[in-house]
Structure 1
């Protein structure tokens, strides 16, 4: 397994990583809203396509 020092390092690294990522996301939020307007529809279409494939596979199984 892991030593206690390794577990503490992993926990601190994870917390610092999440904090830094959230700060950077907030700084870039204006750019995301400006340049990536229609990406929600692409995500919905992708999820719908995967759901359709799963349905077809389930029906013909």
Structure 2
């Protein structure tokens, strides 16, 4: 399906991408703490909303 060269390139690209993302996040970590305080509450609310939709679907399906 893929040649050996393509697989090696894909693997090296993935490793370089992860390293670049790590350093970018590390650089911006202080800004994230300053501007995105409490964003976990939005995530929890979203997950609860999705769970509620599934519960309603199961309840009305029976």
Give the TM-score normalised by structure 1. Answer: 0.97
Structure 1 unaligned residues grouped into runs of 5+? none
Structure 2 unaligned residues grouped into runs of 5+? none
Aligned length: 61
Measure the CA separation in 2 of the matches of 1:35 and 1:19.
24
Measure the CA separation in 2 of the matches of 1:17 and 1:59.
44
What root-mean-square deviation, in Å, do the aligned CA atoms of Structure 1 and Structure 2 show?
0.5
